Amino acid sequence: MKTLFKNIKELLQIRDPEVKKVAGRQMKELPAIKNAWLLIEEDKIIDFGKMENLPEIDFKNSIDASGKIILPTWCDSHTHIVYAGNREQEFADRINGLSYEEIANRGGGILNSAKTLQETPEDEVYQQSAARLEEVMKLGTGAVEIKSGYGLTEEGELKMLRVIKKLQQDYDIPIKATFLGAHAIPKEYKSDPQKYMDLVINEILPKVANQNLAEYIDIFCEKGYFSVDDTHQLLSAAKKYGMKPKIHVNQFNAIGGIKAGVAHEALSVDHLEVMTSEDIEALKNTATMPVALPSCSLFLSIPYTPARKILEAELPIALATDFNPGSTPSGNMNLVLSLACIKMKMTPEEAINAVTINGAYAMELSDKVGSITKGKKANLIMTKEIPSYTFLPYAFGSNNIETVFINGKAIE
Ligand SMILES: N=CN[C@@H](CCC(=O)O)C(=O)O
Ligand SMILES: [Zn+2]
């Protein structure tokens, strides 16, 4: 069945199939057609153009998009959507003066979520996670990456990854799975962290790979968590199973994680709130996507990723939510878009590129989603009647999305 969208005020992010990502100055451009039509068939985009060139065919299914903007759905390349329970008490503790680090040192933080995850039955973890996924899809997300990392035992990590697998089977959007067993060092390994690395590398990783539960490998390379040496060990081991790195680096300290990620041809390096000139240099002439997570900066009151510095170096940037119970209890990509403009001084064009085509690249999904391109999935956002696309990041906190289409179908 074909569906025609007509009288579209503006059709945004139109790209040739060979464009997989955009970098530096290219990010200032957001190719668009004003007063456009778009034709989809079943789950695919098949054609588009200017209204004045609309073929004279009577399409039975047509949607009048007068005054509305159509663009590809958001591509959220960094989330921890699968978790159990919440950590609102830590939020209150931080308001009362404790730091994220102090909370973690008291056994809160990631270890707190790991305890809850381990105690929660798998089907209950699935129900909670599915509800979050449905929430973000209604907010415009049409492709997502999800990490493990709150299990921290073989049983817990495999449980999380099975939940991700079930989400992949039950939901119609592309979902990529990442193994983050090296997210925090469990209490019982504090005096011998290498023993935990050995467990992750020699016991859990082979099972994850053999059961085909994750495509990517992740590690929290940070003071107090995992070292650059741990990062090299894990990424080398994962390479043998064909798992590409997408790693947490430079959130609080620059300790050389970016260089390590690049050495292992990481698909992305994520967080980047603290960036040295050496880190920027390390990313030049590589295929690694820098990913910024501005909702995390907002929630933890930590610096924002220096987007202008990264863009001035002609590097690309993708933006993602980091949806998780501790540092970012929000999966709202519309907020990410606004924060990128307001706090990181990205232009609306740069930010929209970062949440669409570059997000798709950071999940190796540029062939399927992230732009209006013939043959790509009809995963689309149709806005309410709004004055311009700049209104989307400008009117932060308002929902300006009228309908989200996944595989050509409106979701309720
Ligand atoms: N920084 C590491 N991991 C998560 C937060 C984990 C948590 O606090 O639960 C992040 O990406 O922000
Ligand atoms: Zn994260």
Domains 2-72+370-410 and 75-361 share a fold: no
How confident is the model at residue 56, as a pLDDT? 85
Distance, CA of 310 to CA of 14 (rounded, Å): 24
| Interface pTM, i.e. ipTM | 0.98
How confident is the model at residue 253, as a pLDDT? 98
Say if residue 271 carries a ligand binding annotation.
no
How confident is the model at residue 311, as a pLDDT? 98
Distance 78 CA to ligand 2 centre (A): 6
Say if residue 322 carries a ligand binding annotation.
yes
How confident is the model at residue 264, as a pLDDT? 98
Structure-block tokens of residue 175: 């979902």
Which runs of E-coded beta strand occur in 320-410? 380-385, 401-406, 409-410
* Element holding 74 (H helix, E strand): strand 74-76
Residue with tokens 């504090």, as numbered in its chain: 190
Residue closest via CA to ligand 1's atom 9 equals 326
Distance, CA of 368 to CA of 182 (rounded, Å): 30
How confident is the model at residue 316, as a pLDDT? 99
Give the number of whichever ligand sits closest to the CA of residue 80.
2
Residue closest via CA to ligand 1's atom 4 equals 327
Structure-block tokens of residue 347: 């232009």
How confident is the model at residue 81, as a pLDDT? 98
Domain map of the chain by residue range?
A: 2-72+370-410, 75-361
How confident is the model at residue 151, as a pLDDT? 98
Distance 103 CA to ligand 1 centre (A): 13
Distance 170 CA to ligand 2 centre (A): 24
Q: Spell out which residues line ligand 1, taking CB within 6 angstroms.
A: 109-110, 113, 220, 248, 251, 296, 322, 324-328
Give the number of whichever ligand sits closest to the CA of residue 147.
2
Residue with tokens 């004055």, as numbered in its chain: 387
How confident is the model at residue 60, as a pLDDT? 85
One CATH from 1.50.10.20, 3.40.50.300, 2.30.40.10, 2.30.30.90 for 2-72+370-410? 2.30.40.10
Say if residue 324 carries a ligand binding annotation.
yes
Class of domain 75-361: alpha beta
Distance 351 CA to ligand 2 centre (A): 19
Residue closest via CA to ligand 1's atom 11 equals 322
How confident is the model at residue 58, as a pLDDT? 80
Say if residue 80 carries a ligand binding annotation.
yes
Residue closest via CA to ligand 1's atom 5 equals 327
Residues of the chain with confidence (pLDDT) below 70: none
- Kindly report the CA angle at 383 between 382 and 388, in degrees rounded to 5? 125
- Using an 8 Å Cβ cutoff, are 208 and 198 in contact? no
How confident is the model at residue 173, as a pLDDT? 98
